[in-house]
Amino acid sequence: MTITDQLFALQDTAYGDFQAKLMPTIDHSTIIGVRTPALRKLAKQIAKTDAAQEFIGHLPHHYYEENNLHAFIVAQTKDFDEAMRQTNLFLPHIDNWATCDSFTPKIFDKHPDALLEAVKEWIASSHTYTIRFAIRMLMAFFLNERFCDDYPKMVAAVKSDEYYVKMMVAWYFATALTKQYDSVVGYMTNQKLDIWCHNKTIQKAIESYCFTNEQKAALRKMKR
């Protein structure tokens, strides 16, 4: 049984129909309908097999779930250089927000300096989901004790009309406000983001449970 056959054995067509509504950028016929926990379980089961290595060595994939499975397999790679090599091979083939947002190689957390250099390259890409991935890496790994004022500057400098890039910019700043409020609130008060990203950031922040009522009131007043 091939890996694709194994994915079809896990098929839930109703779930596939639901997924298709969330991802208008991809062809419905390429969605098998496999729930994420089942995909993660399969990735864990096969990650170290020759079949898995052969699978990730053949790009592009046809099915949405093949891409997600690919992401989950690479995310388990314990060698940083190999994880980075596989990531760079895979990023150009990501064609939707869900695959992008579920792809987080664990080993990246142990090599922040090298990861940051890669982020600087990715964020300058012309590919929507490579840019989105770069911002996600800044959000996932650099809003903690590694935070530096240069990082939100990198995100604010992104100029794109792509919805899925702009949404990630807003998500980054809304998250940054929960973790580094004093350092990033100036992007709101000084109106350093375009109007759409500015207002979407405020909307996402107000919907969060991470802010006090006073902070939410202050953010509402910043809406443009």
Kindly report, residue by residue over 106-151, the tens digit of the pLDDT.
Answer: 999 999 999 999 999 999 999 999 999 999 999 999 999 999 999 9
Residue 59: both structure tokens together = 């790009």
Count Cα atoms within 13 angstroms, Cβ side, for 161.
Answer: 0
**Residues 98, 113: Cα–Cα separation, whole Å:** 26
Report pLDDT for 73: 97
Residue with tokens 């099915």, as numbered in its chain? 63
Full-model pTM: 0.94
Cβ contacts of residue 113 below 8 Å, gap of 6+?
none
Q: Which of the four pLDDT bands, split at 50, 70 and 90, describes residue 216?
A: confident
